[in-house]
Amino acid sequence: MTAIEAQQRIKKLKAEIEIHRYNYHVLDRETISPAALDSLKNELFKLENEFPQFITPDSPTQRVGGRALSRFKKVVHSAPMISLFDAFSAEDLQAWQERNRNYLDSIGQNHFLSSSDNFPYYCELKLDGLAINLRYEQGQLVQGATRGNGRIGEDVTANVKTINSIPLKLRLPQLGELEKLGLSSLVSRKILKIISHGTIELRGEAIMTKKVLRELNQKYTRLGQAKLANPRNAVAGSIRQLDPKITAERRLVFYAYDLLLSALDSKELLARGELVVRRDQADHLANLLGFKTLKQNRIVSGLSGVFQFYQEVEKKRASLGFEIDGIVLKFNDLKMWIILGVVGKAPRYMMAYKFSAEQATTKVLDVIWQVGRTGALTPTAVLEPVKVGGAVISRSTLHNFDEINRLGLRLGDTIIIERAGDVIPKVVQVLKKLRTGREQKIKVPSVCPMCGGQVLRLPDRVAYRCSNQRCYAVNLQQIIHFVSQNAANLEGLGPKLIEQFLTQGLIKEAADLYALQKSVLLSLERYGEKKADNIIAMINSRRKIAVANFIYALGIRQVGQEMANLLTEKFREYLVAKKKDLELKNLSLEHNWPIEIKTLINYFQNLKLEDLETISGSGPIIADSIRNYWHDEKHLQQLHKFQDNGVELFLPPANVFRVQNSRLLDKTFVLTGTLNGLTRRAAKDKIKTLGGQIKEQITRNTDYLVLGEKPGSKYQEAQKLGVKILNEEEFLKIIS
Ligand code: IVH
């Protein structure tokens, strides 16, 4: 075959394969058998091998062509990928409509108000996957990116190319097809020009079907590998793979939900009605360009139409092949998008109307009591395993005994468990009518399940505590806390190792860690030279601890990171007041100051209760707890032991948070639990740079509780006081 013949054959093969790809992956229509299609692809592959000069980036053979990367490049989005406001009830939507009416009125667009009950909305399914931005230049796919923080995402082009429902080259619609959408011939020609010569961006959701998830999980189980928790995690994990071959294996599907026609003057054109002017047109146009769009999407009239759509979708939800978590309603008239604009983190012109949290029923088999580092006993319900919102749940925290009473829970009860988004599951209701009479009352243990010490409840306190100062569990949890990342940061000393050190008598308390000898470590089972050396070297490298981290590490009741920071700043003020001493020691404000543990003890012992109370947000309970700590003989011995074992404290230069943006000015945040995407320190810094404040305690005046995994009792307090609770995703949206 001559080169020219090969070039022509390659062109025809590509076009033929593309038609069948489109029919199969976009239109769900099989127009050729898979075997025949494979055979066409094979021929193309062989020809391209022979004539590599004719390989183009949009060839179907290039879908899994990318090599594994070592990391993703960052991509700045041409327009920010903003998020959506959520509604959970009809009232929420009515309030949203009212806000829009008021807004339109306030900007002098009151001619819309008379028709506001019948606004045409475009209702779409809200897919539960990962948002992706695709950029096409001159019709060719040039970039695929994740949302990231909305402004900057990650370049995942090689991975999105493996998704069969994403065209590598845009389909060029026929003029007639565009005119059928109600576009004038002038507008249609303009669009064709943009497709061929301009830039088009499509946004949409990459999803994994329920079937693929099931099959993959069956395979992983066979191979003894970890299963994918739910479709959303599965998609995120699949797209953020450095090796595109793994993404390809995950068989993701892409649905488009937004189309950005980047004509330079697109806003003006839209305003004059000389471009796509309706959301339904844009949706169909995406389809004509070669994308999958949702066939369930449709125009409705007013909120009553929205409610009807929502109910229909809710009924069909279980039978859909993919997961959805609600619907999205959008003003169908795109002019309204410009008029209404964006407020804060999301547009006024669309809204997510989410399904309520997923629920399931199961039985409470047992209640176990865990002892935390403050000695507080936390009840956890052991459940008959049940699937809720894609995850199997077999435990649920009950927070405290008051919660058990509030629910009226007994052992053996059938309960409703609920999981809202990523929030940890909770028991929401006991189905008392299903009782058999054999259910048993739940009692607080009178002795600690770990050490047998007496369990007490202080007056006016919620928690029951083990009163044994030497409780094994309390001690263990305290040491685990001491070594943690934001405390002494003894990296690699996990709970298992610490438990081993404790049970083998190598340590009694955290300070003993700094006196560990290699020879003693070698006496433990499975400890070789290397492991022992590594541990000793790590501990030696962490002997210098910042004062705030040290105070936090001590695990003083009521003193979290934020309070530790405040106490440290007070301590700094005290040192600065004694400036003379500093000058004598030749220390400057820009450098770390070495601090003797003795000095710290001295300082705290001389603080008056009133001084402690004036520290922001601190009441008598906290002040008392701090004061008692520094006067307790056992604690003082421990503190001296740190010094004896070579721990050195230092005070870094003051960290002045400059407010870069006053978006969160005067908003108060409380954090609880572990965040996945960023450290607590980073989260707090970000809040502060946006002008917000961080508090340790929930009060009626708290604006937000940021809820991480395994939250503490603050979660419950926030619910009780009606404080707005943000999960990690929502929090990230606010700060991004
Ligand atoms: S429109 C302004 N339409 O939901 C943001 N989003 O909770 C434009 N999503 O990040 C989004 N289905 O990833 C839109 N039909 C749909 C959607 C949809 C799912 C996702 C999207 C977004 C998230 C917000």
Q: How far apart are CA 604 and CA 611, in angstroms?
A: 10
In a domain, 331, yes or no: yes
Q: Ligand 1: does its nearest atom lie under 6 Å from the Cβ of 260?
A: no
pLDDT at 66 (0 to 100) = 62
Q: Give, for ligand 1, the residue of 77, 81, 83 to mutate: max count of ligand atoms closer than 8 Å to Cβ.
A: 83
Going by pLDDT thresholds of 50, 70 and 90, the confidence category of residue 511 is very high
Q: 148-179: per-residue pLDDT in tens? A: 888 899 999 999 999 999 999 999 999 999 99
In a domain, 79, yes or no: no
- Kindly state whether residues 372 and 260 are assigned to the same domain: no
Q: Of 591, 618, 651, at which residue does a domain stop?
A: 651
Sign of CA dihedral 650, 654, 659, 664: positive
Closest atom, ligand 1, to C-alpha of 258? 1
What is the 534 CA–ligand 1 centroid distance (Å)? 47
Q: How far apart are CA 125 and CA 297, in angstroms?
A: 7
Closest atom, ligand 1, to C-alpha of 347? 2
What is the 113 CA–ligand 1 centroid distance (Å)? 27
Position 297 pLDDT exceeds 60: yes
pLDDT at 230 (0 to 100) = 73
- Kindly state whether residues 104 and 213 are assigned to the same domain: yes
Position 656 pLDDT exceeds 50: no
Helix%, strand%, coil% for the chain, nearest 5: 45, 20, 35
- Kindly state whether residues 346 and 223 are assigned to the same domain: yes
Distance, C-alpha 70 to centroid of its chain: 23
Q: How far apart are CA 114 and CA 602, in angstroms?
A: 72
Going by pLDDT thresholds of 50, 70 and 90, the confidence category of residue 617 is low
Torsion of the alpha carbons at 530, 534, 540 and 542, rounded to the nearest 10: 180
Angle subtended at Cα 590 by Cα 567 and Cα 546, rounded to the nearest 5 degrees: 40
Q: Ligand 1: does its nearest atom lie under 6 Å from the Cβ of 345?
A: no
Q: Ligand 1: does its nearest atom lie under 6 Å from the Cβ of 146?
A: no
Q: Tell me how crowded residue 446 is: count the other CB atoms within 10 A of its CB.
A: 9
- Kindly state whether residues 127 and 205 are assigned to the same domain: yes
What is the 8 CA–ligand 1 centroid distance (Å)? 42
Q: Of 320, 336, 354, at which residue does a domain stop?
A: 354
- Kindly state whether residues 194 and 264 are assigned to the same domain: yes
Q: Tell me how crowded residue 658 is: count the other CB atoms within 10 A of its CB.
A: 6
Q: What is the CATH number of the domain that holds 706?
A: 3.40.50.10190
What is the 194 CA–ligand 1 centroid distance (Å)? 25
Q: How far apart are CA 654 and CA 371, in angstroms?
A: 36
What is the 455 CA–ligand 1 centroid distance (Å)? 50
pLDDT at 586 (0 to 100) = 58
In a domain, 574, yes or no: yes
Sign of CA dihedral 695, 698, 703, 708: positive
Residue with tokens 């844009």: 282
Q: Whose CA is nearest to atom 8 of ligand 1?
A: 83
Q: What is the CATH number of the domain that holds 436?
A: 2.40.50.140
Q: Which two tokens stand for residue 479?
A: 């040491």
Q: Whose CA is nearest to atom 21 of ligand 1?
A: 131
Give φ, ψ of 613 to 5 degrees: -70, -30
Sign of CA dihedral 4, 7, 8, 10: positive
Q: How far apart are CA 730 and CA 449, in angstroms?
A: 38
Residue 358's Cβ-side half-sphere holds a number of Cα atoms within 13 Å equal to 20
Lowest mean pLDDT among 233-247, 324-338, 409-423, 594-608: 409-423
In a domain, 77, yes or no: no
Q: Ligand 1: does its nearest atom lie under 6 Å from the Cβ of 48?
A: no
468 and 371 in contact (C-beta within 8 Å)? no
Q: Are strands 648-651 and 544-546 parallel, antiparallel or unpaired?
A: parallel
pLDDT at 68 (0 to 100) = 66
Position 264 pLDDT exceeds 60: no
Over range 112-128, report the average pLDDT: 91
Q: Whose CA is nearest to atom 1 of ligand 1?
A: 257
The 3-state DSSP class for residue 118 equals: helix
Q: Whose CA is nearest to atom 17 of ligand 1?
A: 126
Q: Whose CA is nearest to atom 22 of ligand 1?
A: 83
For the chain, counts of helices (H) and of strands (E): 28, 29
Q: Ligand 1: does its nearest atom lie under 6 Å from the Cβ of 83?
A: yes
- Kindly state whether residues 485 and 506 are assigned to the same domain: yes
Over range 415-431, report the average pLDDT: 79
Who wins on pLDDT, 587 or 32?
A: 32
Going by pLDDT thresholds of 50, 70 and 90, the confidence category of residue 657 is very low
What is the 140 CA–ligand 1 centroid distance (Å)? 24
What are the Cα distances from residue 53, in Å, to 6, 50, 57?
A: 11, 9, 12
Q: Ligand 1: does its nearest atom lie under 6 Å from the Cβ of 352?
A: yes
Q: Which two tokens stand for residue 58?
A: 């949009």
What is the 325 CA–ligand 1 centroid distance (Å)? 11
Identify the burial level of 397 via C-beta atoms within 10 angstroms of its C-beta, where 0-12 means exposed, 13-18 middle and 19 or more buried: buried
Active site residues: 126
Over range 48-59, report the average pLDDT: 90
Q: Ligand 1: does its nearest atom lie under 6 Å from the Cβ of 191?
A: no
Q: Ligand 1: does its nearest atom lie under 6 Å from the Cβ of 124?
A: yes
Over range 354-383, report the average pLDDT: 89
Closest atom, ligand 1, to C-alpha of 297? 15
Q: Tell me how crowded residue 206 is: count the other CB atoms within 10 A of its CB.
A: 27
**DSSP codes joined into one string, 347-392:** ESSEEEEEPPPEEEEEEEEEEEEEE-TT-BEEEEEEEEEEEETTEE
Q: Which two tokens stand for residue 219?
A: 């395979």
In a domain, 125, yes or no: yes
What is the 274 CA–ligand 1 centroid distance (Å)? 26
Q: Ligand 1: does its nearest atom lie under 6 Å from the Cβ of 328?
A: yes
333 and 278 in contact (C-beta within 8 Å)? yes
Q: 512-526: per-residue pLDDT in tens? A: 999 999 988 988 888
Q: Give, for ligand 1, the residue of 82, 126, 280, 351 to mutate: max count of ligand atoms closer than 8 Å to Cβ.
A: 126
Q: What is the CATH number of the domain that holds 281?
A: 3.30.470.30
Q: Ligand 1: does its nearest atom lie under 6 Å from the Cβ of 639?
A: no
Q: Ligand 1: does its nearest atom lie under 6 Å from the Cβ of 84?
A: yes
- Kindly state whether residues 366 and 434 are assigned to the same domain: yes
In a domain, 600, yes or no: yes
- 298 in the Ramachandran plot: left (φ > 0), alpha (ψ -120 to 50) or beta? beta
Q: Ligand 1: does its nearest atom lie under 6 Å from the Cβ of 258?
A: yes
For the chain, the average pLDDT equals 88
What is the 148 CA–ligand 1 centroid distance (Å)? 14
- Kindly state whether residues 218 and 342 are assigned to the same domain: yes
Q: 59-86: per-residue pLDDT in tens? A: 988 887 666 676 888 999 988 898 898 8
- Kindly state whether residues 635 and 708 are assigned to the same domain: no
What is the 229 CA–ligand 1 centroid distance (Å)? 21
- Kindly state whether residues 154 and 177 are assigned to the same domain: yes
Q: Whose CA is nearest to atom 7 of ligand 1?
A: 84
pLDDT at 263 (0 to 100) = 54
Q: Which two tokens stand for residue 373?
A: 């580092």
DSSP 301: E
Lowest mean pLDDT among 157-161, 649-653, 732-736: 732-736
Q: Of 542, 574, 602, at which residue does a domain stop?
A: 542
Q: Ligand 1: does its nearest atom lie under 6 Å from the Cβ of 411?
A: no
Residue 298's Cβ-side half-sphere holds a number of Cα atoms within 13 Å equal to 12
Position 591 pLDDT exceeds 60: yes
- Kindly state whether residues 385 and 423 are assigned to the same domain: yes
Closest atom, ligand 1, to C-alpha of 82? 2
Adjacent-strand bridge partners of 324: 127
Q: Ligand 1: does its nearest atom lie under 6 Å from the Cβ of 324?
A: no
In a domain, 71, yes or no: no
Q: What is the CATH number of the domain that holds 38?
A: 1.10.287.610
Position 485 pLDDT exceeds 60: yes
Q: What is the CATH number of the domain that holds 582?
A: 1.10.150.20
Closest atom, ligand 1, to C-alpha of 204? 13
Q: Ligand 1: does its nearest atom lie under 6 Å from the Cβ of 554?
A: no
Q: Ligand 1: does its nearest atom lie under 6 Å from the Cβ of 126?
A: yes
236 and 131 in contact (C-beta within 8 Å)? no
Q: Whose CA is nearest to atom 12 of ligand 1?
A: 126
Q: Which two tokens stand for residue 333?
A: 């008239």
Q: 23-33: per-residue pLDDT in tens? A: 888 887 888 88
Q: Tell me how crowded residue 693 is: count the other CB atoms within 10 A of its CB.
A: 19
Helix (H), strand (E) at residue 582: helix 579-584
In a domain, 269, yes or no: yes
Going by pLDDT thresholds of 50, 70 and 90, the confidence category of residue 658 is very low
Closest atom, ligand 1, to C-alpha of 130? 13
What is the 126 CA–ligand 1 centroid distance (Å)? 6
Q: Ligand 1: does its nearest atom lie under 6 Å from the Cβ of 409?
A: no
Closest atom, ligand 1, to C-alpha of 147? 10
Q: How many domains does the chain contain in total?
A: 6
Q: How far apart are CA 14 and CA 41, in angstroms?
A: 8
In terms of residue numbers, what domain contains 295? 90-354
Q: Give, for ligand 1, the residue of 123, 127, 350 to mutate: max count of ligand atoms closer than 8 Å to Cβ.
A: 127
- Kindly state whether residues 231 and 271 are assigned to the same domain: yes
Q: Ligand 1: does its nearest atom lie under 6 Å from the Cβ of 205?
A: yes
What is the 348 CA–ligand 1 centroid distance (Å)? 14
What is the 84 CA–ligand 1 centroid distance (Å)? 7
